[in-house]
Amino acid sequence: MNLKKLGNTEVFIPEIGLGTWNYKGGVEPLRAGIKLGASLIDTAEGYYTEDIVGEAVRSFRDEVIIATKVSGRNLAHDSVIKSCEASLEKLGTDCIDLYQIHWPNPLYPIEGTMRALEKLVDRGCVSYVGVSNFSARQMSEAQRYFPNYPIVSNQVLYNLNSRDIEKELLPYCLDNEVTVMAYTPLDNGRLCRPGDGILSEIAAETGKTEAQVALNWCVCQENVIVIPKADSVVKTVENCGASGWRLSPEQLRMLDEGF
């Protein structure tokens, strides 16, 4: 499994992580992924999967990076603290490795949210802070109210069919050493289907599956990792096989032009 730096830290994370939105696979697919090096698991208080993640990693917590999120409905200062405490209990851990704001909410001033997150880092309840679904402008504003620590990641929609972040957000994250965590990297399964298109052509050339080609395209970006969700061990193994190799420049060009 290839590793990439988390933001501007000295922590290295796998370029293929494990997503748990709408997850129904139980502990075994998660444990299978961890054994293959996909040691970052992403969850959220709004996913209702934190307890499953906690159970899955209980025997080897130190080997896993747990990322979870505070809901955009809970961004008032005191609510952030309470949400974190509840997540720690459900996850069965004393520290969340990466705590993220699930989405920006203009009803709550970002200054209060970031002050709460700073307290959580100071207390040792959280190691690193990230955001999700933030624009470049919103990231810049959040960082301004978080002067003592870096925002290390932004979790956003990114796949061959959804490339809006390439206009502004992806360059901003690259310039500011922010890791992009791509969710829905297989476009809800639309990029997994065998057929007669470019994905299938390149899959045949590389000896990989369409899903592995689509995931590899994402992680060919310098600061991008992916967090696909898989409810089965078989699919988890397939997703992990998207790492450890690279598409050729010509194959990347074909995909860029084809999508």
Positions marked active-site? 47
Q: How far apart are the C-alpha atoms of 110 and 21, rounded to whole Å?
A: 25
Q: Is the dihedral of CA 73, 165, 98, 231 positive or negative?
A: positive
Q: How far apart are the C-alpha atoms of 170 and 154, rounded to whole Å?
A: 10
The type of residue at 257 is E
Q: How far apart are the C-alpha atoms of 71 and 159, rounded to whole Å?
A: 24
DSSP-derived letter for residue 164 is G
Two tokens at 218?
């994402």
Q: Which residues are paired to 181 by β-bridges?
A: 155, 225
Which residue reads 């450890």 in tokens?
Answer: 244
157 C-beta neighbours (distance < 10 Å), count: 16
